[in-house]
Structure 1
């Protein structure tokens, strides 16, 4: 049986013990029925992954003794995903699957056709944490505060290409665009359920760091478009030396 994995926000190399809260205690003690002496794994983006042993556990929390590092920290290399918030159930599914696919940062943006006001960021953060624990990655993607699209773009570093999924343009296929750029160090922008407005599309196409791309001949739902694009970028990255 694979050891349970727990994310520790402030995990530091050299620490002897860590103390986690009621969520982790409930998961270990009630769901998995583990107790003192059981082995688990803990991880954090700055320290890597460690084997640990449960020393004490009650409803208020769990104390773990760190036994040794299993994997060193690794830099987050996936793309940032810029997306317009969608309905709650589909948004939560998108956050979970994007985390599994290696997204580095989740950036919700408000566009003209955005119809859902983003809420409960703590819930979305928890979904990302649980997905990271399950899939084996060593970090949890950052979740930015929602902002209007062009206000957020004005603060974005321009040296990293932003691949804009343009469902109504004459853009090149995403994979072909990645091949021309010669790098997987890109970010992705997908629109809301109603698509981008003509004004937004025109402004995006005028920005030098924005690369319009096509995701195929059919119109995809917002969450499908995001996960398709992330999958293509990941597959492209894994074929490179």
Structure 2
């Protein structure tokens, strides 16, 4: 069944207005008519079976009929990704959403190359990925900030998985020993972290340095690998 993310309140009998683009998709691409059903979620009120109430000249209206799933949030893990080029950045956002990350934070490091970031495009990718994968929320994407600023404001009760390309214990060994409920997963830029950045990260009491294996991974591949390893050890894959 078609699933749409519509950030409007959902309750029994509520009228729901898709965007014009969503309405075109429903009525012109998927050929839905009045009375046809689809699933809608907003990240707060669970997943609802809605029906097309009316097809208008411009857009359509839906009616929320029945909640079919209660709201479930993914594990409290966020991806902290050094800004990379457009294609790998978009890939990382798509796959991180599929893997259940709750938030994506973009950072600038000493070796980050200047890039134009279209947050609207990344938000669209995250929404489409959430719709396709069955999750009931969309990860927040936070605008880029310097790595030092992020670490200065870090909550020390939150663990940080530092993916160290120079070595470290295997993630599957190190993560279970570290414990902790809330986590961040830090992925560096092309060229890796600078010596000063690495020294600071290794000194942080809440950071766990891990290796992602014997091969040097691209940033987008490292993000997917790290999230999969974290999910396998501390996440919700046994749900």
Superposition TM-score, scaled by structure 2 size: 0.93
Partner of 2:210: 213
Q: Quickly say closer, same or farther: Cα 1:59–1:190, change in 2 above 3 A.
A: farther
* Separation of aligned partners in 2, 1:14 and 1:111: 48
Partner of 2:33: 35
Instruction: Between 6-15 and 92-101, report the one with greater CA deviation.
Output: 6-15
Number of equivalences = 238
Unaligned runs of 5+ in 1: none
Secondary structure of the equivalent of 2:137?
coil
* Matched-pair contact (CA < 8 Å) for 1:44–1:139: yes
- 1:240, CA displacement in angstroms? 6.2
Pick the aligned partner of 2:185 from 184, 188, 198.
188
Q: Structure 1: which 4+ aligned runs deviate by more than 6 Å?
A: none
Q: Quickly say closer, same or farther: Cα 1:166–1:71, change in 2 above 3 A.
A: same
Instruction: Between 184-193 and 160-169, report the one with greater CA deviation.
Output: 184-193
* Separation of aligned partners in 2, 1:31 and 1:198: 52
* Matched-pair contact (CA < 8 Å) for 2:74–2:236: no
Partner of 2:121: 123
Q: Quickly say closer, same or farther: Cα 1:14–1:189, change in 2 above 3 A.
A: same
Q: Quickly say closer, same or farther: Cα 1:118–1:85, change in 2 above 3 A.
A: farther
Unaligned runs of 5+ in 2: none
* Separation of aligned partners in 2, 1:210 and 1:226: 17
- 1:14, CA displacement in angstroms? 4.6
5 Å matches for 1:134-173?
134-169=132-167, 171-173=168-170
Instruction: Between 171-180 and 56-65, report the one with greater CA deviation.
Output: 56-65
Secondary structure of the equivalent of 1:223?
helix
- 1:27, CA displacement in angstroms? 1.5
Q: Quickly say closer, same or farther: Cα 1:155–1:118, change in 2 above 3 A.
A: farther
- 1:58, CA displacement in angstroms? 4.1
- 1:111-169 per-residue CA deviation (whole Å, 9 max, x = no partner) reads 01111424110110011001000000000001111100110222221111100000113
* Matched-pair contact (CA < 8 Å) for 1:21–1:60: no
* Matched-pair contact (CA < 8 Å) for 1:178–1:184: no
- 1:13, CA displacement in angstroms? 3.3
- 1:12, CA displacement in angstroms? 3.4
* Matched-pair contact (CA < 8 Å) for 1:118–1:146: no
* Separation of aligned partners in 2, 1:185 and 1:111: 23
Pick the aligned partner of 2:101 from 86, 103, 106.
103
Superposition TM-score, scaled by structure 1 size: 0.93
- 1:18, CA displacement in angstroms? 0.7
Aligned-residue RMSD, C-alpha: 1.7
